[in-house]
Structure 1
């Protein structure tokens, strides 16, 4: 059973580890150098965003980070993908915010497909990510309930 709770500061090391495992499993276009560059950004933003942690049997297995209705991060531990954790986290976010929006790496077709199956539609595209790297982003939106 998946439970969802608000992040506490002591969760941060586990959430960063989940982020790392998730990115390594799904973002094959990102090398270890970029991972090392992104890690401090993840650590910096976790306390600044509304973060919800998914747990199975009391162990964190994924998280969603929100800035109002924008999904800034959604990462599922590599070993827990396909178990409903991502959908549970999006359901949790959708219950709190109408009209969710997000950006997803175009080079991560599994994530793009997941969001489309959930009901998100592409509303735009940027050729670079937020740090100016050549990782195109798809801008997606979920219609309000």
Structure 2
């Protein structure tokens, strides 16, 4: 499958992937929080992002990795690494935030060349998160 820009007609599918992935990856945050964020995802975050899809998606705002979500049916099949490599080819550096408790995601990013730059607190969820960065060598 080729990686391509998302189409407006795919928004509902992207939100479904994001929502289901958020529930699993962030089970330490109440599911009502993720439910409450769906409208912002549709009306704010996806429209302002540069979003690429396979059957999964990655969204960038400038050099900030705003989202990398893999459909739960496709996790562990290399799609995340493929999407990450796709955007690394197009950027000199990338930053992202990831919840500290989301060990799978933290480990994924570390294995793909990201380093922890700073520890932060997400004010909306009151959860600790890492600011991570990657730079082309």
Task: State the TM-score, normalized to the length of structure 1.
Answer: 0.88
Q: Give the Cα–Cα distance (whole angstroms) in 2 for the partners of residues 10 and 30 of structure 1.
A: 29
| 1:92-111 residue CA offsets vs partner (Å, 9 max, x unmatched) | 11111111111111111110
Q: How does 1:54-69 map to 2 (within 5 A)?
A: 54=54, 60=55, 62-69=56-63
Does the 8 A contact of 2:99 with 2:129 survive in 1? yes
* Match in the other structure for 1:127: 121
CA-CA distance at 1:78 after TM superposition? 1.0
Report if aligned partners of 1:102, 1:140 keep a CA contact under 8 Å in 2: yes
2:96 counterpart SS class: strand
2:46 match: 46
Q: Answer whether contact 1:68 1:97 (CA < 8 A) is retained.
A: no
| Residue number in structure 2 paired with 1:19 | 18
Partner of 1:112: 106
- Contact 1:99–1:142 (CA<8 Å) still a contact in 2? yes
TM-score (norm. length: structure 2): 0.93
Runs of 4+ displaced beyond 4 Å = none
Aligned to 1:57: none
Gaps of 5+ in 1: 55-59
CA contact (8 A) 2:29 2:125 kept: no
Q: Aligned-residue CA RMSD in angstroms?
A: 1.2
Unaligned runs of 5+ in 2: none
Q: Kindly state the Cα deviation for residue 128 of structure 1 after the two structures are TM-superposed.
A: 2.0
